[in-house]
C-alpha cells in the first residue's frame, strides 16, 4: 500500500506527551496509579519532550524541580523502553513516572489534502459563478443563432444545408464533434439537475 | 434404465448449444398448431416446479413433450420437463444430485433425453429463437439495449433480476471450458464481487480521510489560522503541545483572527472581533454549501439514509448515487460541518460510500447492469460508510444489517465485513485524527462499574427514549411545515438564517463554541488530576495515601463543575432546538453527532449527580463494599457514553449496531452491559411514545415506496379488494398472438400501466406471462428500426413462431424474449397478509391475481403500499411513484 510507505518516509513527527504527576513526591519505587502502560517510542524520530503538565499543586515548583534533578524521573520518553540499571545493578522499571503517548501524523498528507480541497472548492465556485452569470448569456446567443438557422432551413424547405467540403472542414468537424459530445453531456447533466431541483425545491416531493 | 446423468448430460452438452441448464416449459397445443413457451423456472431452485411433471412419456421426438389431455375444452396444456444441454460442469453435479435423491419423476426426463438425444431447444421449433427463448438471458440484451433496466422512480423486480443473474452465471460457467480466455473471464466474474467491494472500501477510506482532514481544518478556520503553514488546524499547528480546547493562550504559532488584525489576544475588542469572524466564516461556509448543493447536485442534501434505505429496498432514484452527488456531498459536508451547524458527518458518509459503491459497480457489468445485484454492493458500501464515519467496522456491518439493508444474505454479510475492514484500514493508515485510533473519540476506561449503577443507566435509557421521541416529533413537524409552506421556497436563505442563529447562540458558550466532536470527547473523557483548564474537571484534588502508594485523586466536584453544568444545560437546550431545525435543511446533514452530543450532555450531568451522591454518602448500603475511602467511585464520562447511546437509540431505534458502534467508538468493551441496558430501555420507551424511528418517519413523510419488514399487516382484506382493476373497469391485457403492433402501441398510449399481462386470447383469459411497458416500448422501437418489414399491421407474437402466422401479411414481431413467463400469481381469495409478505420477502414488483385459473387483475407494489397506508388511516396518495 503506497500511502504507508509514504507515511514512513515522510516526516512523521513524534509527539510525546509526558505526564509526570508525582515528581514532587518522587520515590522511584512507588508507581502512581494512573501511569500504567507507558511508552511507545520510535527512536528514529526526534522526540518532543514536554515538561509535565501542571497539576494543581504548584506547577512552577514542579517544573523547576524537573529541571534540577535531571535524573530518571525526568519526563523524557526517548529511550525509555531501553532497559536501564540503577546504581546498584537493579533493573529499573520502565518509565515509572511518566505517561508517554505516541502520536503520529503525516504533515505532507494534510498539506496535500487541504490544498486539494481548496482547489476543488474554488473550481466548483468558479464553475458555479460561470453557470450563474455567463452561461445564460452564452446560451441565449447560441439559442438565437440556432433559431435563426432553423428558420433559414424552414425557408429553404427541403434543401439540405450546404455540406462542408475539404479536409480542413473535416478536421474542424471532428473537433466540433468532440465539443458537441461534451456539450451534449453537459446539457444532459443540466437537465438532470434541473429535474432534481424541480423534485426537491419546487414540488418538494423528496428529501424533505 | 440408463441412469448416468453425468454421462448423459455431458453427451448432450457436446451437441447442445443452449446454455440453459434446466427449465420447465409449457407447451400449449391449441387449434392444431403447437407453440412452446420457455420458462425461466429453474428446477434447481424450484424443486416443486418439477413435481408437476407427468410421467407417462409418449416418446414423441418431434415435440419432446409429454402430453396430458386437459379436461378443458378449448385447449390442452402440456407440461414438460426439460433439462437443456449445456453447462456440463454445473449441471452434471445437480443432475446427479437429483438422481441420487431418487426423484422418480426425473427419470422420464432423463429417459427421454438419453434415448432420443433431442436437443431441447428444438422443442421451440425455430432455431433462431432458441438462444433467446428465455426471458432475461444475457445474450438477448445485446440486441435490445436497455432491457432489464428501470426507469426513474420505479421499483425493481428482485425475482426477475436474480433470475437474470443466474442465467448469466450459468452461461459463464458453461463457457468456461471453451477456452483459457473464457476460463479467465469466469474467474474474473467469480471474484468481481470481492474486487468491487475492495475498491469501494479503499475509495471510501480515502474519501472519508479527506473529509475528516478538510473538515477539521476548515472548522478551525473560524477561529484563526496557522500563518507558517496554513493547511494546519489548531491542533496540528501547535504540535506537539497538546492544546486544551478551552484556552487559546499558550500556543504562539496559532494566530487567532484578532491577532492577525493586530489586536491583543484577549480583551473585549478581541472577543467581538472573534465573534464577528466566527459568524462570518460560518455564514460563508454554509452559504457555499447550500448553493453548491442547489447548483450542482440537489440530491446531495440531507442525511441520505432514508433514501438509501428506500433504494436498497428496491427503488430506483436515478442520479441519487451519481458522481456529482458524491463530489458535492463530500465538499458540502465538509463545509456544513465547518460552519458549526448542529449536524454530523456520519449519515452523509453512508450516502457517500453508497455513491462510491454505485460508481464502482458500473465497472463490473455483473453488478452495474443488474439492479438487484447492485444492491449487494450498496449494502457493503453502507457498512463501509459507517465503518469510516466512526472507525467502527463491525458496527458498520451491523448497521447495514439492522438499519439500512433490506435484502442481506450471508454473502453480503461477508462482503460487507470485508469492505468495512478495508475502509477502516485505509482510514487508519491516513490517521486523520492525529492519533493511533481511527475513531473520533477514543477514551480508555478501566474503572469498573457497580451493580447499583444499572439504575441510573436505565434512567438514562428512558430519558434517551424521551428525548429521541421529542426530537423526532419536533423535527417531523418542522419538516412537514417546510414541505407545505412557503418556507420551502427559500432553501439557501433558510440555511443562512439557521447558521446565523447557531453562530450567535453558540459562540458565547465555550462548550458550544468548540466542534461538536471535541465536546463529545470532552464529555466522554475522564478527569485526570492534571487537567486544570477544563471547567468540567474542577474537582478538589487530594493526595491519597493508601498503604505504600500515594497518588493525587480527583474527589469532590468544585464550583467550576456546577458552573459548567449550567452551561451544559444551556448547550443542551440550544443544541436540541437547533438540531430540530437543522436536520432536513438543504445541506448535507447527519444526526448521529447531534444526538450523541445531546445524550452525552445529559449523561454527564446525571453522572456528576450520581458521583456527588456517592461521594457524599459512601457508606450507604448501595455502595457497601464498593467504596474505598475518599476515592471516587463513579465515572461521569461513562454516564455520558451511556447517555449518548441512549439518545441515539431513541432517535434511530437501533439496538445491536448502536451498542457495537458505541463500544468500538470509545474502546470501552467493558461497558457493553450498561450500553445494552440503556439501548433497550431507550428503544422500549421510544417505541411506546412514537412508532417510528427518525428514518422511517422521514420515509413516511416523503412517501417513499418502502415496504417496512418490521411492521405487521394485521388486516383481513383479500387480494381481490386490492387488485386493479376495480369492479366495472376493464383489465388491459395483451394477447399472445392476435394483436398488431398498432394495437399494442395504442394500448401503450392510452394506458399508463407499467406492465401488461399477456393472455391467450381476450375471450379466454388464460395467463401466459407478463411484459413490462418499458421493455415493450424498447423492443417495438428497436424492431422498427432494425427489422425489415415490420409495420403497424405486423402481428405481435409472444409465442414462438408457428407455421400458421407466416403465410400472409407483414412478418410478425416476435417478442417472446421480453416476456416474463414466470409471473408470480395469487388467487383472488389470498389474504392480503400473505400478499404483503410475498412482496416483502420476495421483493416483488407486481403479482397477478387469478380466479378459477383465469386472469382477474394485477396487484402492484404501489397498490400494496397505498392499501397499507389506507388501512393505517393515512393518506394513500402520498406514495411517491412514477
Q: What is the pLDDT of residues B714-750, one digit of tens each?
A: 888 888 888 878 777 778 888 887 888 888 888 888 8
- Write out residues 148-177 of A within 8 Å (CB-CB) of B: none
Looking at beta carbons, which residues of chain B come within 8 Å of A106? 430-431
Looking at beta carbons, which residues of chain A come within 8 Å of B331? 117, 120-121, 124
Q: Collect all residues with Cβ–Cβ distance below 8 Å to B8 and sequence separation of at least 6.
A: B2, B95, B110, B113, B114
Mean predicted confidence (pLDDT) in B256-262: 86
State whether B352 and B479 are in the same domain: no
As beta bridge partners, residue B542 has: B553
Q: Collect all residues with Cβ–Cβ distance below 8 Å to B550 and sequence separation of at least 6.
A: A22, A25, A30, B543, B544
Predicted local confidence at residue A95, as pLDDT: 54
Q: Which of B644, B582, B571 is nearest to B390 (CA)?
A: B644
Predicted local confidence at residue A57, as pLDDT: 28
State whether B198 and B187 are in the same domain: no
As beta bridge partners, residue B718 has: B831
C-alpha cell at B704: 417513499
Phi, psi values for residue B200, rounded to 5°: -60, -45
CATH number of the CATH domain containing B201: 1.10.3080.10
pLDDT at B857 over 70: yes
Pick among B205, B214, B351, B531 to test the A interface (most A CBs inside 10 A): B214
Rounded CA gap, B394 and B439, in Å? Answer: 13
- Nearest CB to A15: which of B213, B239, B528? B239
Across A23-61, b (16+ Cβ under 10 Å) vs e yields: beebeeeebbbbbeebbbbeeebebbebebbebeeeeee
C-alpha cell at B695: 428514518
Compute the residue count for chain B.
882
Q: What is the pLDDT of residues B4-39, one digit of tens each?
A: 333 333 333 334 333 333 333 333 333 434 333 333
- Tell me the angle at which helices B454-484 and B559-582 cross, rounded to the nearest 10 degrees: 30
Q: Look at the block and give the residue holding cell 407417462.
A: B56
B288·A125 Cβ contact <8 A: yes
Within a domain: residue B882?
A: no
CATH number of the CATH domain containing B854: 3.10.580.20
State whether B782 and B733 are in the same domain: yes
B431·A104 Cβ contact <8 A: yes
Rounded CA gap, B153 and B457, in Å? Answer: 44
Looking at beta carbons, which residues of chain A come within 8 Å of B218? 117
State whether B606 and B653 are in the same domain: yes
B240·A15 Cβ contact <8 A: yes
Within a domain: residue B32?
A: no
Looking at beta carbons, which residues of chain A come within 8 Å of B584? 208
Predicted local confidence at residue B617, as pLDDT: 78
State whether B405 and B316 are in the same domain: yes
Rounded CA gap, B48 and B142, in Å? Answer: 32
Chain B nearest C-alpha distance from A97 (Å): 12
Distances (CA, A) of B586 to A200, B285, B518, B652: 9, 13, 25, 21
Query: Domain boundary at B655, B674, B702, which?
Result: B702
3-state helix, strand, coil in chain A (%, to 5): 50, 5, 45
Rounded CA gap, B334 and B169, in Å? Answer: 42
The burial of B590, by beta-carbon neighbours within 10 Å (0-12 exposed, 13-18 middle, 19 or more buried), is given as: buried
Rounded CA gap, B742 and B792, in Å? Answer: 5
Q: What whole-number percentage of chain B has pLDDT above 70?
A: 76
Q: What is the pLDDT of residues B279-332, one digit of tens each?
A: 999 999 999 999 999 989 999 988 889 999 999 988 888 889 999 999 999 999
State whether B276 and B206 are in the same domain: yes
Chain A nearest C-alpha distance from B419 (Å): 16
Say if residues B424 and B400 touch (Cβ distance below 8 Å): no
C-alpha cell at B156: 425493481
Q: Which of B800, B641, B793 is nearest to B736 (CA)?
A: B800
State whether B425 and B457 are in the same domain: no
Q: Collect all residues with Cβ–Cβ distance below 8 Å to B471 and sequence separation of at least 6.
A: B576, B579, B580, B595, B598, B650, B651, B694
Distances (CA, A) of B164 to B13, B17, B138: 21, 19, 7
Which helix (H) or strand (E) is A33 found in, with range? none
Rounded CA gap, A3 and A175, in Å? Answer: 39
Look at chain B and report how many structural domains it folds into.
Answer: 4
- Parallel/antiparallel/unpaired status of strands B255-256 and B224-225: antiparallel
- Nearest CB to B429: which of A3, A16, A25? A3
The predicted complex's ipTM stands at 0.77
The burial of B430, by beta-carbon neighbours within 10 Å (0-12 exposed, 13-18 middle, 19 or more buried), is given as: buried
Q: Collect all residues with Cβ–Cβ distance below 8 Å to A75 and sequence separation of at least 6.
A: A18, A19, A20, A23, A49, A50, A51, A52, A66, A97, A98
Chain A nearest C-alpha distance from B481 (Å): 10
Predicted local confidence at residue B63, as pLDDT: 38
Chain B nearest C-alpha distance from A110 (Å): 7
B674 against B60, higher pLDDT: B674
Looking at beta carbons, which residues of chain B come within 8 Å of A110? 213, 217, 231-232, 236
At B850 the three-state DSSP class reads strand
Q: What is the pLDDT of residues A86-106, one digit of tens each?
A: 677 776 655 555 555 556 677
State whether B223 and B179 are in the same domain: no
Q: Which of B608, B461, B449, B596 is nearest to B527 (CA)?
A: B608
Query: Domain boundary at B169, B191, B213, which?
Result: B191
Q: Collect all residues with Cβ–Cβ distance below 8 Å to B334 and sequence separation of at least 6.
A: A117, B211, B214, B215, B218
HSE at residue B650, side-chain half, CA atoms within 13 A, is 34
State whether B771 and B810 are in the same domain: yes
Predicted local confidence at residue B594, as pLDDT: 92
Predicted local confidence at residue B439, as pLDDT: 65
Looking at beta carbons, which residues of chain A come within 8 Å of B551? 21-22, 32-34
Chain A nearest C-alpha distance from B441 (Å): 15
Mean predicted confidence (pLDDT) in B241-264: 74
Predicted local confidence at residue B881, as pLDDT: 66
Highest mean pLDDT pick, A49-53, B44-48, B58-62, B223-227: B223-227
State whether B202 and B181 are in the same domain: no
Within a domain: residue B709?
A: no
CB contact A126 to B (< 8 Å): no
Say if residues B1 and B107 touch (Cβ distance below 8 Å): yes
Say if residues B367 and B192 touch (Cβ distance below 8 Å): yes
Compute the residue count for chain A.
208
Say if residues B655 and B402 touch (Cβ distance below 8 Å): yes
Distances (CA, A) of B386 to B350, B398, B519: 6, 10, 21
Pick among A29, A106, A133, A206 to test the B interface (most B CBs inside 10 A): A206
A115·B231 Cβ contact <8 A: yes
Chain A nearest C-alpha distance from B299 (Å): 7
State whether B279 and B402 are in the same domain: yes
Query: Domain boundary at B396, B430, B464, which?
Result: B430
Q: What is the pLDDT of residues B583-602, one digit of tens each?
A: 988 999 998 999 999 999 99
Chain B nearest C-alpha distance from A179 (Å): 21
Looking at beta carbons, which residues of chain A come within 8 Å of B242? 17, 50
Rounded CA gap, B743 and A133, in Å? Answer: 50
Predicted local confidence at residue B73, as pLDDT: 35
Within a domain: residue B856?
A: yes
Chain B nearest C-alpha distance from A39 (Å): 13
**How many angstroms from the chain centroid is the CA of residue B180?**
38
Rounded CA gap, B249 and A60, in Å? Answer: 18
Q: What is the pLDDT of residues B150-200, one digit of tens each?
A: 888 888 888 888 888 898 899 998 988 888 999 998 899 888 999 999 999
Q: Look at the block and give the residue holding cell 445494552.
A: B676
CB pairs under 8 A between A and B: 172
C-alpha cell at B740: 398488431
How many CB atoms are closer than 10 A to CB A154?
8
Looking at beta carbons, which residues of chain B come within 8 Å of A136? none
Say if residues B520 and B599 touch (Cβ distance below 8 Å): no
- Nearest CB to A128: which of B295, B298, B584? B295
Within a domain: residue B468?
A: yes
Within a domain: residue B421?
A: yes
Mean predicted confidence (pLDDT) in B417-423: 94
Rounded CA gap, A24 and A147, in Å? Answer: 89
Within a domain: residue B102?
A: no
**How many angstroms from the chain centroid is the CA of residue B80?**
41
Predicted local confidence at residue B405, as pLDDT: 86
How many CB atoms are closer than 10 A to CB B667?
16
pTM (2 d.p.): 0.77
B301·A192 Cβ contact <8 A: no
Q: What is the pLDDT of residues B342-382, one digit of tens each?
A: 998 888 999 999 999 999 999 998 898 888 899 999 999 99
Q: Look at the block and give the residue holding cell 416483488.
A: B844
Q: Collect all residues with Cβ–Cβ distance below 8 Å to B647 and sequence separation of at least 6.
A: B463, B464, B467, B468, B595, B596, B598, B599, B602, B682
Predicted local confidence at residue B241, as pLDDT: 64
- Nearest CB to B239: which of A13, A55, A196? A13
C-alpha cell at B489: 421556497
Predicted local confidence at residue B29, as pLDDT: 38
Domain residues for the domain of B185 are 154-191
Whole-number average pLDDT of chain B: 78
How many CB atoms are closer than 10 A to CB B408?
18
Say if residues B446 and A33 touch (Cβ distance below 8 Å): no
Q: What whole-number percentage of chain B has pLDDT above 90?
A: 27
H-only helix segments in B624-735: 636-652, 656-666, 672-689, 694-702, 719-722
pLDDT at B668 over 50: yes
Within a domain: residue B10?
A: no
State whether B460 and B608 are in the same domain: yes
Residues B340/B341/B346/B347 CA torsion (nearest 10 deg): -160
Pick among B251, B551, B877 to test the A interface (most A CBs inside 10 A): B551
Predicted local confidence at residue A47, as pLDDT: 35
A201·B491 Cβ contact <8 A: yes
pLDDT at A43 over 50: no
Q: What is the pLDDT of residues A165-208, one digit of tens each?
A: 445 556 666 777 888 888 888 888 888 888 888 888 888 888 87
Amino acid at each position: 500500500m503506497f500511502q504507508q510507505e509514504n507515511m514512513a518516509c515522510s516526516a512523521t513527527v513524534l509527539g510525546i506527551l509526558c505526564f509526570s504527576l508525582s515528581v514532587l513526591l518522587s520515590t522511584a519505587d512507588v508507581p502512581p496509579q494512573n501511569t500504567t502502560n507507558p511508552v511507545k517510542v520510535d527512536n528514529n524520530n526526534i522526540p518532543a519532550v514536554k515538561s509535565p503538565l501542571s497539576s494543581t499543586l504548584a506547577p512552577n515548583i514542579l517544573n523547576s524541580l524537573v529541571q534540577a534533578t535531571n535524573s530518571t524521573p525526568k519526563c523524557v520518553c526517548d529511550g525509555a523502553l531501553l532497559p536501564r540499571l540503577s546504581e546498584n545493578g537493579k533493573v529499573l522499571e520502565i518509565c515509572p513516572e511518566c505517561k508517554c503517548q505516541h502520536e503520529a501524523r503525516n504533515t505532507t498528507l494534510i498539506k496535500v489534502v487541504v490544498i486539494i480541497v481548496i482547489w476543488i472548492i474554488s473550481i466548483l465556485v468558479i464553475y458555479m459563478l460561470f453557470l450563474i452569470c455567463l452561461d445564460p448569456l452564452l446560451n441565449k446567443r447560441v439559442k438565437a443563432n440556432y433559431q435563426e438557422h432553423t428558420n433559414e432551413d424552414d425557408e429553404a424547405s427541403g434543401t439540405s444545408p450546404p455540406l462542408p467540403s475539404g479536409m480542413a472542414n473535416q478536421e474542424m468537424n471532428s473537433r466540433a464533434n468532440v465539443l458537441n459530445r461534451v456539450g451534449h453531456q453537459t446539457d444532459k447533466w443540466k437537465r438532470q439537475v434541473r429535474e432534481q431541483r424541480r423534485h426537491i425545491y419546487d414540488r418538494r416531493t423528496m428529501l424533505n | 434404465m440408463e441412469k448416468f446423468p453425468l454421462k448423459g448430460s455431458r453427451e448432450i452438452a457436446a451437441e447442445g448449444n443452449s446454455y440453459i441448464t434446466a427449465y420447465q416449459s409449457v407447451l400449449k397445443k391449441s387449434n392444431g398448431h403447437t407453440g412452446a413457451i420457455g420458462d425461466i423456472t429453474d428446477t434447481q431452485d424450484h424443486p416443486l416446479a418439477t413435481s408437476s411433471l407427468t410421467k407417462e412419456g409418449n416418446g414423441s421426438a418431434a415435440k419432446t413433450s409429454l402430453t396430458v389431455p386437459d379436461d378443458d375444452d378449448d385447449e390442452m396444456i402440456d407440461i414438460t420437463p426439460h433439462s437443456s444441454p449445456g453447462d456440463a460442469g454445473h449441471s452434471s453435479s445437480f443432475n446427479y444430485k437429483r438422481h441420487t435423491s431418487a426423484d422418480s419423476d426425473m427419470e422420464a426426463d432423463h429417459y427421454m433425453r438419453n434415448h432420443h438425444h433431442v436437443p431441447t431447444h428444438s422443442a421451440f421449433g425455430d432455431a433462431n429463437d432458441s438462444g433467446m427463448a428465455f426471458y432475461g438471458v444475457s445474450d438477448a440484451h445485446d440486441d435490445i439495449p436497455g432491457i432489464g433496466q428501470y426507469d426513474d422512480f420505479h421499483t425493481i423486480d428482485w425475482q426477475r433480476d436474480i433470475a437474470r443473474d443466474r442465467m448469466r452465471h450459468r452461461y459463464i460457467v458453461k463457457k468456461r471450458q471453451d477456452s483459457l480466455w473464457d476460463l479467465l473471464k469466469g474467474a474474473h466474474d467469480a471474484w468481481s464481487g470481492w474486487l468491487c467491494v475492495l475498491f469501494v472500501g479503499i475509495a471510501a477510506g480515502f474519501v472519508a480521510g479527506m473529509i475528516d482532514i478538510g473538515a477539521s481544518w476548515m472548522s478551525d478556520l473560524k477561529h484563526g489560522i496557522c500563518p507558517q503553514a496554513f493547511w494546519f488546524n489548531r491542533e496540528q499547528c501547535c504540535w506537539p503541545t497538546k492544546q486544551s480546547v478551552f484556552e487559546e493562550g499558550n500556543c504562539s504559532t496559532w494566530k487567532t483572527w484578532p491577532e492577525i488584525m493586530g489586536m491583543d489576544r484577549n480583551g473585549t475588542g478581541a472577543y467581538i472581533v472573534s465573534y464577528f469572524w466566527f459568524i462570518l466564516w460560518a455564514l460563508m461556509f454554509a452559504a457555499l454549501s447550500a448553493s453548491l448543493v442547489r447548483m450542482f447536485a440537489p440530491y446531495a442534501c440531507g442525511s441520505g439514509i432514508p433514501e438509501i434505505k428506500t433504494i436498497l429496498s428496491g427503488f430506483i432514484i436515478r442520479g441519487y448515487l451519481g458522481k456529482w452527488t458524491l463530489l458535492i456531498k463530500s465538499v458540502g459536508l465538509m463545509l456544513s460541518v465547518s460552519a458549526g451547524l448542529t449536524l454530523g458527518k456520519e449519515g452523509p458518509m453512508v450516502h457517500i460510500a453508497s455513491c462510491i459503491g454505485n460508481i464502482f459497480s458500473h465497472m463490473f457489468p455483473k453488478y452495474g447492469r443488474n439492479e438487484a445485484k447492485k444492491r449487494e454492493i450498496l449494502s457493503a458500501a453502507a457498512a463501509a460508510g459507517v465503518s469510516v464515519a466512526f472507525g467502527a467496522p463491525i458496527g458498520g456491518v451491523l448497521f447495514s444489517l439492522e438499519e439500512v439493508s433490506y435484502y442481506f444474505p450471508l454473502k453480503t454479510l461477508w462482503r460487507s465485513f470485508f469492505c468495512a475492514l478495508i475502509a477502516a484500514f485505509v482510514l487508519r493508515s491516513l490517521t486523520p485524527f492525529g492519533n493511533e485510533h481511527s475513531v473520533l473519540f477514543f477514551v480508555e476506561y478501566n474503572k469498573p462499574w457497580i451493580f447499583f449503577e444499572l439504575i441510573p443507566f436505565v434512567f438514562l435509557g428512558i430519558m434517551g427514549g424521551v428525548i429521541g421521541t421529542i426530537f423526532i416529533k419536533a423535527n417531523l413537524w418542522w419538516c412537514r411545515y417546510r414541505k407545505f409552506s412557503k418556507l420551502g421556497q427559500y432553501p439557501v436563505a433558510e440555511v443562512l438564517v439557521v447558521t446565523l442563529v447557531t453562530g450567535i447562540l453558540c459562540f458565547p458558550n465555550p462548550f458550544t463554541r468548540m466542534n461538536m466532536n471535541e465536546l463529545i470527547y470532552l464529555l466522554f473523557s475522564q478527569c485526570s488530576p492534571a487537567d486544570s483548564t477544563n471547567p468540567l474537571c474542577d474537582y478538589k484534588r487530594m493526595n491519597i495515601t493508601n498503604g505504600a502508594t500515594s497518588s493525587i485523586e480527583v474527589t469532590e466536584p468544585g464550583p467550576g463543575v456546577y458552573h459548567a453544568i449550567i452551561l451544559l444545560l444551556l448547550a443542551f437546550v440550544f443544541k436540541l432546538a437547533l438540531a430540530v431545525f437543522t436536520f432536513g435543511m438543504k445541506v448535507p446533514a447527519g444526526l448521529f453527532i447531534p444526538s450523541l452530543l445531546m445524550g452525552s450532555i445529559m449523561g454527564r450531568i446525571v453522572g456528576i449527580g450520581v458521583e456527588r451522591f456517592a461521594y457524599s454518602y459512601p457508606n450507604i448500603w448501595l455502595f457497601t463494599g464498593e467504596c474505598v475511602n475518599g476515592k471516587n467511585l463513579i465515572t461521569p464520562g461513562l454516564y455520558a457514553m451511556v447517555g449518548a447511546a441512549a439518545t441515539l437509540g431513541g432517535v434511530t431505534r437501533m439496538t445491536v449496531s448502536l451498542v457495537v458502534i458505541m463500544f468500538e467508538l470509545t474502546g470501552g468493551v467493558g461497558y457493553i452491559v450498561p450500553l445494552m441496558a440503556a439501548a433497550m430501555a431507550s428503544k422500549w420507551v421510544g417505541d411506546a411514545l412514537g412508532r417510528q424511528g427518525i428514518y422511517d418517519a422521514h420515509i413516511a413523510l416523503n412517501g417513499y415506496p418502502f415496504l417496512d419488514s418490521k411492521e405487521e399487516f394485521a388486516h383481513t382484506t383479500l387480494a381481490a379488494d386490492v387488485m386493479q382493476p376495480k369492479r366495472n373497469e376493464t383489465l388491459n391485457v395483451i394477447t399472445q398472438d392476435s394483436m398488431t403492433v398498432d394495437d399494442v402501441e395504442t394500448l401503450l398510449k392510452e394506458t399508463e400501466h407499467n406492465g401488461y399481462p399477456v393472455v391467450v386470447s381476450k375471450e379466454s383469459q388464460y395467463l401466459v406471462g407478463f411484459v413490462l411497458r418499458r421493455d415493450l416500448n424498447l423492443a417495438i422501437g428497436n424492431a422498427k428500426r432494425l427489422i425489415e418489414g415490420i409495420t403497424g399491421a405486423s402481428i405481435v407474437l409472444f409465442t414462438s413462431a408457428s407455421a400458421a402466422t407466416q403465410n400472409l401479411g407483414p412478418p410478425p414481431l416476435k417478442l417472446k424474449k421480453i416476456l416474463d413467463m414466470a409471473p408470480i400469481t395469487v388467487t383472488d381469495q389470498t389474504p392480503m397478509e400473505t400478499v404483503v409478505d410475498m412482496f416483502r420477502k420476495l421483493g416483488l414488483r407486481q403479482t397477478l391475481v387469478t380466479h378459477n385459473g383465469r386472469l382477474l387483475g394485477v396487484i402492484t407494489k404501489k397498490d400494496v403500499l397505498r392499501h397499507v397506508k389506507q388501512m393505517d388511516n393515512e393518506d394513500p396518495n402520498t406514495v411517491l411513484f412514477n
